[in-house]
């Protein structure tokens, strides 16, 4: 599994937004596995994110990201607004 943890949208599909936080905890949950992976991390500059990822990393445009976020907001509203 590969994720990009960043304070602004780097245009990759597997981006985790820091939501403005400068620090916090992350939890990797392994379910029904025979082994638990050991997470690794590295820090790269924002400008180097694309070159640090494999060439086949899925990218998103700003419009695609906005559409995804809109669908998530609607789903949460439909689930909890009752």
**pLDDT tens-digit profile of 60-74?**
999 999 999 999 999
Number of domains in the chain: 1
**pLDDT tens-digit profile of 23-76?**
999 888 888 888 888 889 999 999 999 999 999 999 999 999 999 999 999 999
CB atoms within 10 A of CB 1: 6
What range defines the domain where residue 23 resides?
4-80
**Predicted pLDDT at 36:** 84
Q: How many residues appear in the chain? A: 82
Q: How far is CA 57 from CA 33, 45, 50, in A?
A: 25, 17, 9
**Predicted pLDDT at 6:** 95
């Amino acid at each position: 599994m590969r994720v990009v943890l960043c304070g602004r949208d780097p245009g990759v599909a597997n981006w985790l937004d820091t939501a403005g936080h400068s620090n916090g905890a992350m939890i990797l949950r392994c379910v029904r596995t025979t082994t638990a992976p050991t997470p690794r991390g590295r820090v790269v500059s924002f400008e180097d994110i694309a070159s640090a990822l494999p060439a086949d990393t899925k990218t998103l445009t700003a419009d695609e990201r906005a559409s995804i976020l809109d669908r998530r907001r609607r789903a949460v509203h439909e689930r909890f607004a009752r």
